[in-house]
Structure 1
C-alpha cells in the first residue's frame, strides 16, 4: 500500500531529504558574504548577534538573536554585518571551514554566531515543496513558533563540531525537525495556497487530506471528502481550493502520481500492481492519468530514470 496517514510525513518521505549542516559562521567586525543560487532549501538561525539578510529582489531584512529564516530555491543573497559592507564571494570563505565553523575577524571579538543547514531533495519530487515556498520565510523569536525554532537552532548549534558518536545522525534529524517546524510557521503566516502544508493546520481540510493519504487507493468522491471535513460539498470544494491551491480530486490525482513517480524510480512494483495501489482499475487508466500529469508514459518514465544507473558514472 502506498501512502501512510500523515500528508506531511508522506510528502517529506517522498522528498527524500539530504541534509548538510554548516559550516556555521562566527564573525566580528565589518563583513559581507555573497551566496550564489542553490537548490533546494536552506534554513538558518542566529544563535548570537545580529546581521542583515539581503535576498535579490527583496528588501533587506535585519535578523536578531533567536530569529530563524528559510530560503526556498533562492536567487543570489547576501549576509552582512552592515548594509554598506562590500560583499565577497562566500564559496572560498566557506571552503576554509575548520571543525564546522567559518570565522571572520578576531576570535576574541566575535559577536555573531549563525547556524545554517542546507537540505536538498530528490529532483523527481522536489517541486512538492519548492513550488509552495516563497524565496524567504522569516520567523521572529517573539512569533508564535519562534521560541521553539530558536531552541532547535540552539540544539543544532551545540552539535556543530562535536565528534561524539552519532553526531551526524543527530544533526540530520534536528535539521528535519527544524524543517517541519519552519513549514508550520510558514503555513500559519501565509494567506496563499499551501498545498499539503494545509494539513499542518488542524481543520476540516486537514482531515480530508489525512484521509486521502491514509488510503490513496480508495475511489474518493467529493461527497465523501466533504463529509469527513463536516462541510457541504460546495463549501468544501471552495475551501480546499483556497487553502491547497487545486480542487480536491485534482490534488488526489497529483498525489497519486507523485507516489507513482517515486515507485517507478525505485522499480519496486509492476505497472499493474502500481495501478491498483494508486486507485486505478486498470493499467490503461493509470497510464492515461500518469501521462496527463507527468507528460510521459509510466514505462518511458521508468526507463528514463534507469539510464543514469547504466551510464558508467560513479556515485560519490
Structure 2
C-alpha cells in the first residue's frame, strides 16, 4: 500500500480510503468485520463513515458496526485513521424532528460528536467532516465549536464534504482569522464521468492545502464494466446507472471506455481508480466494497500504472471541463 500526507498535515494516510456505507444496509456485521480486517492487513489505514449511515430507522448502525470491530482489540483503533461526518438529522426515523437535531450549529455538533463517539466505542475521531454546507450557521460559530472539541481531545482534524470552492475558501479564511487550523480535507464527487470538481473545488483545495478525497469513484457502477457485465452475465444495471445508460450518448461513451480498456487488458473499475490516483490534489478515492473480492480489486488499482496511451484515450472519451474561468469563459 502507498501512503501520502492528508492535505497540509503531518498525518499519513493510505491512498485508498475504505468506505463503510454498505456496512449494515448491504453487508452484515460479520462480513463487514472481515472486510475491515482484510483492509487493515492490506495496509489501508484510512476508514470513512458518517453518523447517518445505516439510513432510515437504522441511522447510526454503520458506526455501531465499526465500534464493535474496534472493541475486538488487536490495536485495531490505533492503526486506523477514523473519519466520520456530521450534518444529517439523527432524530429517530418517523418521529417529529426537533429543532437543532441536524446541520452545523454548535448545539448539534456537540450532540452529534458525543453520539458518534459512543457508537464507535472510541474517545476520539481523527477526522471530523461536515457532510454538507450549512448556509445558516456562520463559520465563526462552527470553528468555535470545533476548537472546543479539539481542546477536549475528541477531534484531531476537520474536513468537509460536498463543499463548493468558495465555501472551502470561506471556511479556511475564517479559520485563519480566529486562529484555527481549518479544513484539511474535502470529500467530493469526482470520477472520470463526473469531472466538474476540476473547475473550482480541486483548485481551491490545492491552494489551501486541503486533501481531496473523491467519493463514488466508479460513479455508482457506471465505470465498473457495466455493459460487459450485461453481455456476459445477463445482469442488467439498475437505478441511476440504468437511467444513465438509457441515454444513447452516454451508452456510446461507456462502450468506448470499456473497449479502450479491453484493448489494453485492463479491468474498468481498477482503471477508473488508478486514473484518480494520477490526478493532482487527490489524496485517495473512497472504495465501498460489499465483498472481500471487491476490496481485492480496489487494492490492485494502487499498483496499476496507466500508460500514456491509455491516459490520452481516457481524456478523449471523458474530456474534463478544465479550471475556472476558462471552463466557461476566455
Report the TM-score, using the length of structure 2 for normalisation.
0.26
- Highest CA radius of gyration, 1 or 2? 1
Report the TM-score, using the length of structure 1 for normalisation.
0.27
Choose between structure 1 and 2: higher strand proportion: 1
